[in-house]
Structure 1
Amino acid sequence: MSSGMLVVLVIAVVVALALLGLLMWPAVRRRRLREKFGPEYDRTLQEAEDRKTAERELAQRERRHAELELRELPQERKEQYLTEWAGVQEQFVDHPAEAVVAADQLVTTIMSERGYPTEGYDQQVADLSVEHANTLGHYRTAHEIATRRDGDGASTEEMRTAIVHYRELFQDLMNGHTTQHTKEAKS
């Protein structure tokens, strides 16, 4: 085989591998997003026009999340929040509706202290989905009950369910850790 044929063969192999990589990239990206976002991937896919739009939305969330300056809670703050959470649970016995509001406020306060923007529920969900996708369904359910407790008049059992769901996100935020893509908090 001549050196000219060998060069052509090498170029053909490189081009074939590049094309294969381009063809496989969407599947690799899809699998990575599905693993990272878990049930949130499927939810976003259902709400979007198509898969490409859904995946673009999730990638956009990752980019925004990477710009957040998330931080761990200091141990003394964790202890304070654990005490506050115990108070929320005690409050539920006599005042369930107020306890649900307090749980929502406490979770929002912790999000804010960790560095998550808290300007609106939809943005909170999008930001949390990157690192807390597995507990996001709990937050959605709790928030839905909390927002209708006055309107439809959520039952005491539904409010108890909301507290249980808020507890899942509360624990995740308390025990969660920032990822390597997250900037360290500035002193």
Structure 2
Amino acid sequence: MSTGVIIAIVIVAAVVVAAVVLFLLRARGAQGGHGLKRRFGPEYERTVARHNGDTRAAEAELAERVERHGSLKRRPLAPEARARYEARWAAAQERFVDSPREAVADADQLIAELSKERGFPDGRHEDRLDALSVHHAHQVHGYRRLHRAAHAPADGTPESRPGTEELRASMVEARALFAQLTGDDDGHRAPRTETKRSGATGEARGAQPAWAFGRRHVKGS
């Protein structure tokens, strides 16, 4: 093989390698920028804001979340488990009328247990939240808000304690993630399971459902 042919082969190989590297860099750039923004939606904007507008730092954090939790396999939820969780959520909603703080704490604990059963990390709340943000980016903030309200110090200053309206709003927003976690693996809501408890509820009697309370019906916390 002549020297000229060898040089030509080396040049062609170098061009091919350069083209592959350029393609990979562009793909990685798309994932790091527009891809992450498309995947995380409002979670992307919140992360950028938390990094004081530094998109590079925010994208590095989000990319690291995907690296750690993107391959997580969600475990299926048995129908009886789904019914049990839905009954507990309904009970928390009913409890809110008389005990808003306790109801929010119940809902926070319920989502933690439910996410564990679906295969999300069990341990540090931050790890669970990161994993949930990868797979439920559009619903995770409701859980974040609920957890913050549930763990606010009861003996703190009036400004640091969430009021009844904030407790109510956090529970309403967190229900979107609860619905996702009790749905099927594609995120579709499973058919609602009707549960009966001792004593007729207002919903069973045809009255206003417990969770459809107006603000004036909730006792102050």
Q: Give the TM-score normalised by structure 2.
A: 0.67
Q: How does 1:104-119 map to 2 (within 5 A)?
A: 104-119=108-123
- When residues 46 and 65 of structure 1 are mapped into structure 2, their CA distance, relative to the original with a 3 A threshold, is same
Distance (whole Å) between structure 2 residues aligned to residue 78 and residue 22 of structure 1: 42
For 1:94, the equivalent position in structure 2 comes to 98
For 2:131, the equivalent position in structure 1 comes to 127
Structure holding more helix per residue: 1
Please say if residues 97 and 149 of structure 1, whose CA atoms lie closer than 8 Å, have aligned partners that are also in contact.
no
**Aligned to 2:151, what secondary structure does the other structure show?**
helix
- When residues 96 and 19 of structure 1 are mapped into structure 2, their CA distance, relative to the original with a 3 A threshold, is closer
Q: CA deviation at 1:171?
A: 0.9
Q: After superposition, give the CA deviation of every residue in 1:15-37 in whole Å (9 maximum; x if it has no partner).
A: 67446425523432232222221
Q: Are residues 1:143 and 2:147 paired?
A: yes
Q: Which is worse superposed, 18-27 or 134-143?
A: 18-27
In structure 2, what residue type is equivalent to 1:27? Answer: G
Q: Percent identity?
A: 40
Distance (whole Å) between structure 2 residues aligned to residue 156 and residue 47 of structure 1: 26
Distance (whole Å) between structure 1 residues aligned to residue 81 and residue 21 of structure 2: 52
In structure 1, what residue type is equivalent to 2:27? Answer: W
Q: Are residues 1:29 and 2:31 paired?
A: yes
For 1:58, the equivalent position in structure 2 comes to 62
Structure 1 unaligned blocks of 5 or more: 180-187
2:176 is aligned, of 142, 147, 168, to 168
Distance (whole Å) between structure 1 residues aligned to residue 70 and residue 21 of structure 2: 30
For 2:206, the equivalent position in structure 1 comes to none
Distance (whole Å) between structure 2 residues aligned to residue 51 and residue 161 of structure 1: 29
1:44 is aligned, of 43, 47, 58, to 47
Q: Are residues 1:153 and 2:161 paired?
A: yes
Q: CA deviation at 1:174?
A: 1.0
- Alignment RMSD (CA, Å): 3.0
- When residues 153 and 29 of structure 1 are mapped into structure 2, their CA distance, relative to the original with a 3 A threshold, is closer
- When residues 32 and 153 of structure 1 are mapped into structure 2, their CA distance, relative to the original with a 3 A threshold, is closer
For 2:185, the equivalent position in structure 1 comes to 177
Distance (whole Å) between structure 1 residues aligned to residue 26 and residue 72 of structure 2: 31
The structure with higher relative contact order (CA 8 Å, sep 6+) is 1
Q: CA deviation at 1:53?
A: 3.4
Structure 2 unaligned blocks of 5 or more: 188-221
For 2:83, the equivalent position in structure 1 comes to 79
In structure 2, what residue type is equivalent to 1:145? Answer: A
Distance (whole Å) between structure 2 residues aligned to residue 18 and residue 75 of structure 1: 48
Bigger radius of gyration among the two: 2
